[in-house]
Amino acid sequence: GAGVSQSPSNKVTEKGKDVELRCDPISGHTALYWYRQSLGQGLEFLIYFQGNSAPDKSGLPSDRFSAERTGGSVSTLTIQRTQQEDSAVYLCASSLIAGGRGEQFFGPGTRLTVL
């Protein structure tokens, strides 16, 4: 079946612009996660959704970052007033069940470059 999909695959933007990243999880997966991976760094957790709710947003690095999920499916991650340090690969994952035992499957990511 179809895996996690993300769009766009690449995004180049100018500092100060807003960007919106999209994630379409595996059908039937109730949990959705956003991570980012900077060059040479490990994956950094950003936010988690169970259904349309985000129980904990503490992983978001600043108030310029926000995310929503609608219909228990597609999620968008929005970064306002982008900064150069926002450049990274933004990865979305989904799992059938929430919590630690849910195996997470990743999408191909969106590579964001802020000039």
Closest CA relative to residue 111, chosen from 5, 11, 7: 11
- Residue 110 CB, nearest distance to other proteins (Å)? 11
- Each residue 72-111 as x (binds other proteins by CB under 8 A) or -, in order, gives -------------------x------xxxx-xxxxxxx--
1 binds other proteins (CB under 8 A): no
Per CB under 8 A, the list member of 19, 48, 112, 114 interacting with other proteins is 48
Residue 22 CA to residue 67 CA, distance in Å, equals 10
Kindly list the distances between the CA atom of residue 44 and the CA atoms of 19, 25, 26, 28, 109, in Å, as whole numbers in the listed order: 19, 19, 21, 25, 13
Nearer to other proteins, 16 or 55 (CB): 55
- Residue 7 CB, nearest distance to other proteins (Å)? 14
